[in-house]
Amino acid sequence: MYAVIRTGGKQYRVEKGQRVEVERVGTEPGGSVELSPVLLVDGKKVLSTPKDLGKAKVKAKVLEETKGPKINGFVYKPKSNNRKRWGHRQKYSVLEITDISAGAASTKSAEKTAQKTDEE
């Protein structure tokens, strides 16, 4: 079973036990965070509609906060003595996926839609 989650404006494909480095979440290291999936795949079942994903949850534990590589920028405009130097270092949270659950109601609706397609 795997899920696609959205956090920090990006989407990640995650499985249980996997460690993921995402943009900083507001939880301290040692805490847990609950993410809502965009897509959930469990064998032959694929949950992708908002109705199916209503009760689906992905739980993760925040292991640590790290920093990405330093990005240096420099802007120079000739003949005007205009120079600007800047830098950026993104902060990340390292998450460990502890549980992926589809929710009872969402799996029932997925089974109903699977039965309808098999009958047709």
Task: With respect to residue 109, please indicate whether it lies within any of the assigned structural domains.
Answer: no
- Residue partners of 5: CB distance under 8 A and separation at least 6: 11, 12, 14, 35, 36, 37, 38, 58
Task: With respect to residue 110, please indicate whether it lies within any of the assigned structural domains.
Answer: no
Q: How far is CA 106 from the centre of its chain?
A: 20
Task: With respect to residue 95, please indicate whether it lies within any of the assigned structural domains.
Answer: yes
When divided into structural domains, the chain yields a total of 1
Task: With respect to residue 42, please indicate whether it lies within any of the assigned structural domains.
Answer: yes
Task: Supply the range of the domain harboring residue 95.
Answer: 2-103
Which residue reads 């609706």 in tokens?
A: 109
Task: With respect to residue 116, please indicate whether it lies within any of the assigned structural domains.
Answer: no
Task: With respect to residue 33, please indicate whether it lies within any of the assigned structural domains.
Answer: yes
Which residue reads 């996926």 in tokens?
A: 97
Q: Which two tokens stand for residue 52?
A: 């199916």
Q: How far apart are CA 71 and CA 119, in angstroms?
A: 57
Amino acid at 39: L
Residue 21 scores a pLDDT above 60: yes
Global confidence as pTM: 0.74
Tens of pLDDT, residue by residue over 54-94, are 889 999 999 999 999 999 999 999 999 999 999 999 999 99
Task: With respect to residue 15, please indicate whether it lies within any of the assigned structural domains.
Answer: yes
Q: How far apart are CA 59 and CA 98, in angstroms?
A: 6
Task: With respect to residue 120, please indicate whether it lies within any of the assigned structural domains.
Answer: no
